[in-house]
Amino acid sequence: MTDALALAPVETVRPKYIGKPVQRLEDPRLLAGAGRYTADIQLDRMLHLAFVRADQAHAEIRAIDTNAAAAMPGVVAVLTAADFADVADLVATSRMQTYNATHCPLLARDRVRYVGEAVAIVVAADRYRAEDAAAAIAVDYAPLAAAIDPAAALAPGAPQLHPEVPGNLVLEREFRTGDAAAAIAEAAHVVEGTFRLARKSPLAIETRAYVADYDRGRDAITLFSSTQIPGVVRDALASLLHLPGNRLRVVAPDVGGGFGGKGSLYVEEVIVAALARRLERPVKYVGDRLEDLTSTSQGFDEVVEARLGLDAEGRFVALEAEVIGDIGAYSIYPWTAALEPVQVVSFLPGPYRIAAYRGRVRAATTPKPPTGPYRGVGRPMAVFALERLVDMAAVRLGLPPDEIRRRNLVRPEDFPFRIGSGIRWDRSGFLECLDAASVAADLTEFRRRQAEARAAGRWLGIGFASYAELTGIGSRIAVAPGMPINTGSETATIRIDATGAVTATFAMASHGQSLETTLAQIVAEELGVRPQDVAVVQGDTDAAAHGTGTYASRSAVIGGGAAIRATRTLLGKVKAAAALLFDVDPAEVETGDGVIFVPGTNHRIDFADLARAVYSDMAALPHDARATLEAQESFDPRLGTTTSATHLAEVEIDAETLAIRLTRFFVAEDCGRMINPLVVDGQVHGGVVQGIGVALLEELQFDETGQILSASLADYLIPTAAEVPSLGVAHLETELPANPGGFRGMGEGGTIGAPAAIANAVSDAVAHLGVGVATLPITPSKLARLLADNEKE
Amino acid sequence: MSEIDITLTLNGEEVRARAEPRMLASDFLRDRLRCTGTHVGCEHGVCGACTIRLDGVTARACLLFAAQLDGARVDTVEGLGTVRNLHPIQEAFRRHHALQCGFCTPGFLMTVAEILETHPLRTDEEIRDALSGNLCRCTGYEHIVRAVRDLVDARDGVTA
């Protein structure tokens, strides 16, 4: 059962834990129902919040009648925007030119800008009474004109959503290398299309939840938050509530998934923290699923109009794109609305050699919930658009889908390679991943099966998607352009206490990524203890001076790098102290599985012995050698590291019902050195299945007035086990990146490649009917419409 | 609203608490009986995170009223195993890395406990169908299916 944990101690070679399928240290408590999620927290005298939320997309608030609610049993307070006049609006600033920030009030003031926006609050003795009273609050709205569609919002004369955002244009940006228009005009072949990924929900199974405790004696707040970014939340709260960080603690306890949806600051967490202090009592708010689908940040929602020019041999010569992003009602804090749409044009040229590129993005504010980070950020859209164009080009030139990619991928000798948007790819297994997928695909055999099935009324299709992503991004590249926070570094503090126990402290915040295990593996291997001997502390702002959290595939690379550096420094102290005890040179001391020894001698103590000698035994070591067994080191990779993959999908479509069944999915990826292959597989599987949702199921739908039409899990569908085939994953390790562990980030890749691969597979399956997929998700009814429209033409 | 007495056998132990008749069973278990292992993910019976066993049969605690638990035998994740002595189902989940954030996991464990008793689960497809009432957003289900396959093989005396 504990195969990897129970490796026999080895005297001369320290046991290796990095790269082993070590069983997770967080599992026993989560499996036994003994985890502690925010909603599980109950405090004495705790009050409960219920929100009244806008039921109109764009309207003026004429009046709010709270009298009946305030008089109801158990109600402690009813609050509206006027009650938070002392708290500033959330404003995501940026150094980017051509960016207009929005002002997001804690509660809607004068105007509501999306269905789901918080308008009023009831504070009551329990949630049931809070909701009773919330239902008794009457808000008088006067509807305002609204441009729901992003292109309409950018058209001259469109109704304005924010006075501070002229023309509803939140930002505009263009990347340009060479003369793409001229190159396309002269290209032997040009393929083009307009591609769209529907707006979607990150949809963690745990909804957002916040509990604030107030310490009357210290005038201090502890906010328990289901967040990915406790450090960002703490820093923002300090400035919004005018409290120093040493009286403001943000704890992310066990967090039930995030996927980006818990990666921004929310008005609800500011409100919960502010009210706990104002009322001098603990305050709790747990969002329900309707609130999650309407007020948690949403993903994607871009239209990409793109053209790819090729020479006669199928080599890409130029790419041009016009992108419109629908960012919703507010530019999200701290990332800004630039995060998702700008990354679409940043990553659009993908892993290919394309000499000329022009990509322009404009982001429109519309009366819908704000968009924010979602697993893959920008890249799922970019990869979907480009990989569709690549397959369209392959069909045009009569090339197999793997061959056209092989002719154009950045080759090993080309690295480092700068793409047209300025992103630099380092050596990663671009071609190696394609080759592995190509072997797995066995195209000759597939085409035979496809022809056979087609004759029998079943449409089979195969699709590739190759991509590269930047992960573990350092401080020279902001995660979002021009934003005012540093996401590029991490600090690790590793301590051996007086009992010999090891604690490793980080500012990151695991919400399923297994950091308590993977970071323990790193520290254990470097220090010479067992993973289960290392307690990892994270998700608590009191434990670290600065840090942002866990997102953007950064924790293994940056946090892991800091862990290696700090542990090596600590190991130096361990060896120095042990060398004095053994009366040998420090270089002769070795450690492994909790033992400190000199090979070939009987010098052998454990970490508890060493700790006793250093901390408690006043005679064992000279006074000046009793240095605390603690080390702190930071790591900033400066740039990012390149992770690459090729995804392969096979679908089968029932010619009669048009039901689309995913029959096979295979991933070949290069994430560098794996810390824990079980965990890597789990991340790939989970990412791919979210990508399957993007491709075939998930869509937040809004009507022409901005009402959300898919606000329950009966209307917003995500994949279940039954829709998902068995997933195959091949890990390739080419040249390791030049960071302390040789790690590349890999938490998002599954979601980046899968939508494109499935879109290509569906397009391949219906290619004989003259249609292709340009909008995801593709569903049987949408496919029926495509075929019907095509027949009309 | 006045409260009523509710007496039930929770994980083999008789317990009694008071609740308003309208209180959901999920809230009653979590807030009144302080068994927070049963999680709430949607409150409309779709996600399965709140799956418990009511007189041996899986049920969505969010679709039941607390009053419906009166006189019943209720089993929750807390009744399976402990941190220091995991149940074989929990062990299989750990061995196969069948959980990440762990939020949906208690519901899956209760479902798996039932289907191992009631379903033949001959193929992975049957396992996937039997699990399709529980949503997981982290794992992509692959490792959960492998964990259940292991448990089925152990149940049926098949050596992998």
Domain boundary residue among A635, A663, A695?
A635
- Residue A718: its chain B contacts at CB < 8 A? 135, 137
Please provide the average confidence, as pLDDT, over all residues in chain A: 95
- Residue A255: its chain B contacts at CB < 8 A? 101
Whether residues A311 and A428 share a domain: the answer is yes
> For A709-743, how does the pLDDT look when each residue is reduced to its tens digit (9 = 90+)?
999 999 999 999 999 999 999 999 888 888 888 89
Q: How far is B132 from chain A (nearest CA, A)?
A: 5
Domain boundary residue among A244, A262, A286?
A286
Whether residues A387 and A530 share a domain: the answer is no
Name the burial class of residue A312, with classes exposed (0-12), middle (13-18) and buried (19+) by CB atoms within 10 angstroms of its CB: exposed
Mean of pLDDT values over A262-287: 98
Domain boundary residue among A584, A608, A635?
A635
Q: How far is A616 from chain B (nearest CA, A)?
A: 31
A721 and B145 Cβ atoms separated by less than 8 Å: yes
CA distances (Å), origin A426, targets A351, A477, A672, A686: 11, 15, 12, 26
- Residue A289: its chain B contacts at CB < 8 A? 41-44, 47
Which range, of A143-152, A225-234, A543-552, averages the lowest pLDDT? Answer: A543-552
Q: How far is B156 from chain A (nearest CA, A)?
A: 20
A431 pLDDT band (50/70/90 cuts)? Answer: very high
Q: How far is B71 from chain A (nearest CA, A)?
A: 24
ipTM metric: 0.98
Beta strand pairing status for B51-54 and B73-75? antiparallel
Q: Would residue A541 count as lying in a domain?
A: yes
Q: Would residue A368 count as lying in a domain?
A: yes
Q: Would residue A163 count as lying in a domain?
A: no
Q: Would residue A313 count as lying in a domain?
A: yes
Mean of pLDDT values over A257-269: 98
> For A738-793, how does the pLDDT look when each residue is reduced to its tens digit (9 = 90+)?
888 889 888 899 999 999 999 999 999 999 999 999 999 999 999 999 999 998 87
Of A36, A127, A204, nearest to B137 by CB-CB distance is: A204
CATH at residue A782: 3.30.365.10
- Residue A719: its chain B contacts at CB < 8 A? 141
Whether residues A327 and A417 share a domain: the answer is yes
pLDDT of amino acid A479? 61
B47 touches chain A (CB under 8 A): yes
Q: How far is A459 from chain B (nearest CA, A)?
A: 21
For residue A458, pLDDT over 90 is answered with yes
A270 and A106 Cβ atoms separated by less than 8 Å: yes
For residue A233, pLDDT over 90 is answered with yes
Q: How far is A128 from chain B (nearest CA, A)?
A: 8
Separation CA A23–CA A675 (nearest Å): 12
- Residue B76: its chain A contacts at CB < 8 A? 33
pLDDT of amino acid A578? 97
Separation CA A568–CA A551 (nearest Å): 26
pLDDT of amino acid B160? 58
B contact test, residue of A27, A224, A532 with most B CBs within 10 A = A27
pLDDT of amino acid A2? 37
- Residue A684: its chain B contacts at CB < 8 A? 140
Whether residues B94 and A687 touch (CB distance < 8 A) is answered with no
For residue A6, pLDDT over 90 is answered with no
CATH number of B88-156: 1.10.150.120
A482: left (phi over 0), alpha (psi -120 to 50) or beta: left
Q: How far is B75 from chain A (nearest CA, A)?
A: 12
Separation CA A166–CA A156 (nearest Å): 10
A contact test, residue of B42, B90, B101 with most A CBs within 10 A = B101
Q: Where are the domains of chain B?
A: 4-79, 88-156
Whether residues A457 and A508 share a domain: the answer is no
Whether residues A32 and B81 touch (CB distance < 8 A) is answered with yes
Of B30, B127, B135, nearest to A718 by CB-CB distance is: B135
Whether residues A385 and A466 share a domain: the answer is yes
> For A525-567, how does the pLDDT look when each residue is reduced to its tens digit (9 = 90+)?
999 999 999 999 999 999 999 988 888 888 888 999 999 999 9
For residue A341, pLDDT over 70 is answered with yes
A39 touches chain B (CB under 8 A): yes
- Residue A23: its chain B contacts at CB < 8 A? 94-95, 97
> For A356-401, how does the pLDDT look when each residue is reduced to its tens digit (9 = 90+)?
999 999 999 999 999 999 999 999 999 999 999 999 999 999 999 9
Picking from A691, A774, A776, A785, the residue whose alpha carbon sits closest to that of residue A388 is A774
Separation CA A263–CA A380 (nearest Å): 18
Q: What is the topology classification, in CATH, of domain B4-79? A: Ubiquitin-like (UB roll) (3.10.20)
> Which chain A residue's Cα is nearest to B105?
A31
Q: Would residue A741 count as lying in a domain?
A: yes
> Which chain B residue's Cα is nearest to A692?
B140
Whether residues A271 and A321 share a domain: the answer is no
> For A289-310, how does the pLDDT look when each residue is reduced to its tens digit (9 = 90+)?
999 999 999 999 999 999 999 9
For residue A1, pLDDT over 80 is answered with no
Whether residues A618 and A689 share a domain: the answer is no
Contacts by B125-130, CB closer than 8 A, 24 or more apart? B127/A721, B127/B152, B128/A720, B128/A721, B128/A722, B128/A724, B129/A721, B129/A722
pLDDT over 90 for what percent of chain A? Answer: 89
pLDDT of amino acid A354? 98
pLDDT over 70 for what percent of chain A? Answer: 98
Whether residues A508 and A599 share a domain: the answer is yes
> For A654-709, how does the pLDDT look when each residue is reduced to its tens digit (9 = 90+)?
999 999 999 999 999 999 999 999 999 999 999 999 999 999 999 999 999 999 99
Amino acid at A31: L
Looking at the DSSP bridge assignments, the partners of residue A780 are none
Q: Would residue A191 count as lying in a domain?
A: no
Rg (chain A; Cα; Å) = 28
A639 pLDDT band (50/70/90 cuts)? Answer: confident
CA atoms within 13 A on the CB side of A593: 13
Whether residues A242 and A253 share a domain: the answer is yes
Whether residues A533 and A621 share a domain: the answer is yes
A207 touches chain B (CB under 8 A): yes
B157 pLDDT band (50/70/90 cuts)? Answer: very high
Mean of pLDDT values over B147-157: 97
Which range, of A106-115, A482-491, A584-593, averages the lowest pLDDT? Answer: A482-491
For residue A11, pLDDT over 60 is answered with no
Number of domains in chain A: 3
Whether residues A585 and A712 share a domain: the answer is no
Q: Would residue A8 count as lying in a domain?
A: no
A689 touches chain B (CB under 8 A): yes
A58 and A144 Cβ atoms separated by less than 8 Å: yes
pLDDT of amino acid A478? 67
Whether residues B138 and A257 touch (CB distance < 8 A) is answered with yes
Chain B segment 77-116 residues within 8 A of A by beta carbon are 77-78, 80-84, 86, 90-91, 93-97, 99-106, 109
pLDDT of amino acid A480? 63
Q: How far is B94 from chain A (nearest CA, A)?
A: 6
Separation CA A716–CA A734 (nearest Å): 40
User: Which residues form the domain of A52?
Assistant: 39-144+208-286
Chain A segment 643-682 residues within 8 A of B by beta carbon are 678-679, 681-682
A198 and A779 Cβ atoms separated by less than 8 Å: no
For residue A161, pLDDT over 70 is answered with yes
What H or E segment, with its residue span, contains residue A394? helix A379-397
Whether residues B44 and A713 touch (CB distance < 8 A) is answered with yes
Q: Which two tokens stand for residue A276?
A: 């706990």
> Which chain A residue's Cα is nearest to B89?
A31
Q: Would residue A293 count as lying in a domain?
A: no
Whether residues A443 and A464 share a domain: the answer is yes
Whether residues A690 and B137 touch (CB distance < 8 A) is answered with yes
For residue A438, pLDDT over 70 is answered with yes
